[in-house]
Structure 1
Amino acid sequence: MKIFHTSDWHLGQSLRGFDRYYEHQCFLDWLLAQIRTEDIDVLLVSGDIFDNANPSSASQKQLYRFLQAAREAAPHLRVVLIAGNHDSPGRLEAPSPLLARFETRVVGQTARIADGNIDLEQLIIPLHDRNDQLRAWCLAVPFLRPGDVPRIESEQDAYLAGVEALYQQALQQILLRRHPGQAIVALGHCHLEGGATSRDSERRIVVGGLEALSAGIFDKHIAYAALGHLHLPQAVGGREWVRYSGSPLPMSFAETEYPHQIVKIELDGERLQAITPLRVPRSVELLKIPAQPAPLPEVLQALQNLPYDDLSLPERQWPYLEVRVSFETPEPGARALIEEAIKHKAVRLAGIDANYRRGDGSMHIDEDSTFNDLSQLQAEDILRQHHQTQYGGPVPDDVMKAFQELLLEAEL
């Protein structure tokens, strides 16, 4: 059985005000071609399908048109999608009855049965091959908020204990019904301990200061764990089979060097036979000019030397540009000079990274500079800055925990 693992599409995302519909469509067209070429049996999407809980009609149509095209291109294809922390669980699950007719399963959230326990059946999905033979089982666990996990009495953090218990309980149900030769694949949208993060793009999703879960929640019976949330492709916990596919597009300028990819998984019975990353072509470049902050005259010269002169190209294909400047003192006219330097260049100015040189020669970024984009900051970072300014000290742990819980509730 051949499976594609992908995640963190963030359909509907804009980059500093620029719509990215074209880039997402290029990725989906490429993915569709790969499904045909590689003759894939199953597509797994590990959360953050949309960039926010209230996606535009255009981004929703983009998803459903892709699912329709994928089904037409590969009538045997099975698709499993789980919700991430950016997704609205209810909105994602709403069309489930229709999607199920096209062998697409959506798991947006956990539900509870009459006795108050988690309904494990909704998390367990049998995977059939093109001959309709049951070849594997999928343990599909969406992003879990504190109220979504079993209530466990434990000396460790209640949330972490609940997540671990949920995976173990669902896995035991699969082990009771699977036959020899049938593999188990797990999906999750979470932050595992040891995972490398992007400084700009990924929301913190675990409350109480506990940033990560242990890779040990994935039992040895699981052939492959297909994870979402972290945008850098990576294996975690020293286990090649516990893996983030990463995002298919750079979500910020901090991710321009990431090897954006999807992952092809090949199963042989219960065994993982091969893991093959497939690089996603970048349809629009993200430029950081210069590579390191430089004085304004040098920056203006570098911008004038940019080779992007073909203004006949559709603007949606123009590279995004972040200009990186160092200043001795504030220069109010800097933006106008930068805009003039690129006036005849086929690039889109997506930000100015302004750095100011201290008296000792070291550099710092002016957090209050009008050049900087507030949307790049995490909500917790804004709270920390405000608290430091207002009270002259760090945010107390209990206040930060309450604030993080409010953030999660606001995303419901």
Structure 2
Amino acid sequence: MTVRFFHTSDWHLGQFFHNHERDYEHNQFLNWLLEQIQEKQPNALLIAGDIFDVVNPASSAQKQLYQFLTDAHAIAPHMQTLMIAGNHDSGYRIEQVEPFLAKFNAKAVGIISKQNQQFDLDRLLVPIYDANKNIIAWCLTLPYLRSAEITGLNEQTTNSQNAIAYLHQQLIAAAKARKQPDQALILMSHAHMQGGETSDSERPIVVGNEEALSTALFDDVIDYVALGHLHKPQKVGQTHIRYSGSPIPLSFSEINYKHQVLEISIDPTQTDESRFQMESLAIPRSVQLHRIKGTIPEVLAQLSALASGEIEDIDQREYVEIEYHTDTPPAPNLRQQFEEALAPNRYRLVRISRRYLNSDQNNQQQAAINLDPPTPAKLFQNLWEKQGYGADDTVMKDFLSLVDEAQKSLEDDANA
């Protein structure tokens, strides 16, 4: 029996892009996804983590998710929606509404539970049904693995690397024991895999001091690995191990990404190439981004050449980032010059940075207007460098580990 499902991830509902809300862009994506669901009627929708942008999302972001689940169930009542927590999510938060999710044929796995000094594998193995309630696949759900949740269980989990390997081995073994010949095995995970290409908007995932995981964790019996965390759509090693990518660009570094939802079909009874089929469903971009670079005269010329015509709703206006090249201090009214070169009421100038033409000077001095709030990692890095210490990846990884543990502690306190 063929199982058909959609693979998506990294929605980051509630994200502020240079202090601008993105509700409009997310609504456009969700409405488009509902159209695909209505047309294709898949057996399942897999959301591989980072559903929200922060662990305590605004009520508007939560409403977006729950309204989507309500609408999706109305147009495809047999479709299951399976979600896992990413490193941006609170695993406890997405699980605490389980009774509500069940009414819409949805399930969220946010944390790794333990029972009797063993991982609770039963709750991580989720059956996927056809319209006649026959099991056609098993989904192995692995949310973001925080070190504190997976280590210290037994002699196999003394450190994060061992714990991750042990959890995968145990979960895959349990899935093999349940799997029938006509059932597929799908593994959904939120992780940074070795060889994956990153953008500048992904928050580093650090488990102990080892960030990227190996695809060797995935047994050959797994028919498809649905990954979340990296925002660029890509395969990792093999065709069936994939990041779907984010549905909208979450930074200017993602301006050229081809955002998509993956439609996957697996027929476990086949042994040839027809066993696995994949189609990329291209997501329309609802708000454009522009990166403008050059000397000040070149930048002004490029800004003037952009399309004109007002966009009434500010949430639909296009984003502009400028990097101007100069050897001299900028004029006090430079930002005003840039804004006046843009067509009125069409663009949002959200970032201006300066790069010196002299390479030596450029390496020593950078000036940027960045309206994003500083992250703990950035603040620590700036402080570290101001003290005269050089770049040290080990120190940064250790600091990020502490941040991660602090965040987990806050979540535990909030859900105690």
TM-score (norm 1): 0.91
Question: How many percent identity over aligned positions?
Answer: 41
Confirm or deny that 1:193 pairs with 2:194: yes
For 2:335 and 2:216, the matched residues in 1 are separated by 50
1:392 CA displacement: 3.3
1:364 CA displacement: 4.7
1:183-202 Cα offsets, whole Å, 9 max, x none, are 1000000000000000x200
Q: Which residue of 2 aligns with 1:119?
A: 120
Matches within 5 A, 1:121-270: 121-151=122-152, 153=155, 158-198=159-199, 200-236=200-236, 238-269=237-268
Q: Which residue of 2 aligns with 1:372?
A: 370
For 1:349 and 1:267, the matched residues in 2 are separated by 45
Q: 1:258 to 1:370 in 2, by over 3 A?
A: closer
Matches within 5 A, 1:12-411: 12-113=14-115, 115-151=116-152, 153=155, 158-198=159-199, 200-236=200-236, 238-269=237-268, 272-289=275-292, 293-308=293-308, 310-331=309-330, 332-342=332-342, 344-358=344-358, 363-364=362-363, 366-367=365-366, 369-373=367-371, 375=373, 379-395=376-392, 397=394, 399-411=395-407
Q: What one-letter code is carried by the residue in structure 2 that aligns with 1:235?
A: K
Q: 1:256 to 1:364 in 2, by over 3 A?
A: farther
Whether contact under 8 Å (2:146, 2:207) holds in the other structure is: no
For 2:155 and 2:203, the matched residues in 1 are separated by 28
SS for the counterpart of 1:411 is: helix
1:338-362 Cα offsets, whole Å, 9 max, x none, are 12222625111111132122266x8
Whether contact under 8 Å (2:84, 2:142) holds in the other structure is: yes
For 1:359 and 1:30, the matched residues in 2 are separated by 46
Q: 1:319 to 1:169 in 2, by over 3 A?
A: same
For 2:182 and 2:94, the matched residues in 1 are separated by 32
Q: Which residue of 2 aligns with 1:8?
A: 10
1:97 CA displacement: 1.6
Q: 1:400 to 1:208 in 2, by over 3 A?
A: farther
Q: What one-letter code is carried by the residue in structure 2 that aligns with 1:315?
A: I
Whether contact under 8 Å (2:350, 2:371) holds in the other structure is: no
Query: Which stretches of structure 1, 4 residues or longer, exceed 4 Å deviation after superposition?
Result: 362-367
Q: 1:392 to 1:341 in 2, by over 3 A?
A: same
Whether contact under 8 Å (2:294, 2:324) holds in the other structure is: yes
Whether contact under 8 Å (1:387, 1:395) holds in the other structure is: no
Q: 1:50 to 1:177 in 2, by over 3 A?
A: same
For 1:157 and 1:250, the matched residues in 2 are separated by 38
For 2:148 and 2:21, the matched residues in 1 are separated by 34
Q: 1:207 to 1:76 in 2, by over 3 A?
A: closer
Please, what is the CA RMSD of the aligned residues? Answer: 2.1
The answer for unaligned runs of 5 or more in structure 1 is: none
Whether contact under 8 Å (2:80, 2:105) holds in the other structure is: yes
1:75 CA displacement: 1.0
For 1:88 and 1:208, the matched residues in 2 are separated by 19
1:264 CA displacement: 0.6
For 1:78 and 1:365, the matched residues in 2 are separated by 54
1:302 CA displacement: 2.0
1:380 CA displacement: 3.6
The number of aligned residues is 400
For 1:396 and 1:284, the matched residues in 2 are separated by 36
Mean CA deviation greater in 266-275 or 250-259: 266-275
Q: What one-letter code is carried by the residue in structure 1 that aligns with 2:298?
A: E
For 1:86 and 1:203, the matched residues in 2 are separated by 8
Whether contact under 8 Å (1:137, 1:185) holds in the other structure is: yes
For 1:7 and 1:157, the matched residues in 2 are separated by 30
Q: 1:356 to 1:374 in 2, by over 3 A?
A: farther
Whether contact under 8 Å (1:223, 1:270) holds in the other structure is: no
For 2:245 and 2:158, the matched residues in 1 are separated by 27
1:11-67 Cα offsets, whole Å, 9 max, x none, are 000110111000000000000100111221100000000000010000100000000
1:171 CA displacement: 1.4
1:386 CA displacement: 2.3
For 1:202 and 1:365, the matched residues in 2 are separated by 26
Q: What one-letter code is carried by the residue in structure 2 that aligns with 1:61?
A: K
The answer for unaligned runs of 5 or more in structure 2 is: 409-416
1:365 CA displacement: 8.4
For 2:105 and 2:390, the matched residues in 1 are separated by 54
Q: What one-letter code is carried by the residue in structure 1 that aligns with 2:335?
A: R
1:298 CA displacement: 2.1
Q: What one-letter code is carried by the residue in structure 1 that aligns with 2:382?
A: Q
Whether contact under 8 Å (1:228, 1:245) holds in the other structure is: yes
